[in-house]
Amino acid sequence: MSSHNAQTKGLLLTALGGLALTIDIPLIRLAHGEAWTILLLRTGCTFVAGLIVWAIWRSFSKNAPQLIPGWSGLVVATLYGLGAIAFITAVYNTSTANLVFILAFSTMFSALLSWLFLKERPRPLTLAAMALMIVGIAIIVGDSVGTGYLFGDVMALCSALAIACAITVSRASGRDMGFTALTGVLLPFGLAALMVSKTGFQVEAPWWIVFNGAVIMPFAFFCLANGPKYISGPEVAMFYLLETVLAPVWIWMIFAETPSRNSLIGGVILIVTLVAHSLWQLHEGRKRRAALAVAYPA
């Protein structure tokens, strides 16, 4: 495959995955269910769909990745599971805008953890971006004090941190973790099943969350997991921002939920900082490739 075709494929995959992810929270809200019931359906459907895909892959190829590759895979699966629990908790305890804006900080959590544990010191511009994003997070969380959203904001931060930890462990291990995130849903599924057995099954429109768990989430994860094989990290990060921008728009259109002024200010700081940082990384990557092409011509 030529480099142009590979980049086109990567951009298409990542764009489709990013767009699919934007309707995750709206579908959760449309189901009108209790949090544990929603978590049970979402994780159960996602796991079954992922297991079917893995089994088909395994039947055609012996190179299918392991569901849990060793102890590092178990740690990564646990982290993704904890992140899923924190995410659903945040959906029910803060505004959609606050949630997606705070989740965008996971990229900077990843950079910070890579610095601490993988000794990958960030460039000064990345450190400046971190500082700006912390200001944005502080504005959003500060605005939630006394509104009942503070707990949900903290859960969103916990979800972002869990995802960043999972990514860091995956990178440190060097193992193929393609299906580990899907396996990780077993932890929240087990916890949700325990809670639902006590509280009862409470959901008005289960088909929305079944569609979300069985189709949308596996499709989004597949596209976003395979996109980075063909395009750079900064380009992938740009498409992840689609959820940050569009999810609050869908929620506003469907439920007339309007973000607060401070939430929008903090969100704009986060989005502009991430876009600027990704564009800078993209520019630096192209400069390095151009320099290598001059130094080592084909």
Task: Kindly list the averaged pLDDT for each block of 10 residues, start to end, along the chain of length 298.
Answer: 68 86 95 96 94 89 83 92 95 93 87 87 86 91 84 95 89 81 91 95 95 91 73 66 87 91 91 85 74 62
Residue 188 CA to residue 180 CA, distance in Å, equals 14
C-alpha closest to that of 89 among 106, 103, 77, 104: 103
- Phi-psi domain of 256 (left: phi exceeds 0; alpha: psi -120 through 50; beta: other): left
Per-residue pLDDT, 298: 54
Per-residue pLDDT, 186: 94
Tokens of 58: 């395994």
Per-residue pLDDT, 241: 78
pTM: 0.86
Per-residue pLDDT, 289: 67
Distance set, CA 244 to CA 30, 128, 241 (Å): 19, 21, 5
Per-residue pLDDT, 234: 57
C-alpha closest to that of 219 among 28, 8, 52: 52
Max Cα-Cα span within the chain: 67
Domain assignment of residue 99, given as a range = 3-295
Assess contact for 155 and 86: CB atoms under 8 A. Answer: yes
Assess contact for 177 and 170: CB atoms under 8 A. Answer: yes
Residue 60 CA to residue 85 CA, distance in Å, equals 34
Per-residue pLDDT, 236: 67
Q: What is the dihedral of CA 224, 228, 231, 237, to 10 degrees?
A: 60
Q: Residue type for 268, please?
A: V
List pLDDT tens digits, range 35-60. Answer: 999 999 999 999 999 899 889 988 98
Number of domains composing the chain: 1
Residue 152 CA to residue 109 CA, distance in Å, equals 18
Per-residue pLDDT, 173: 85
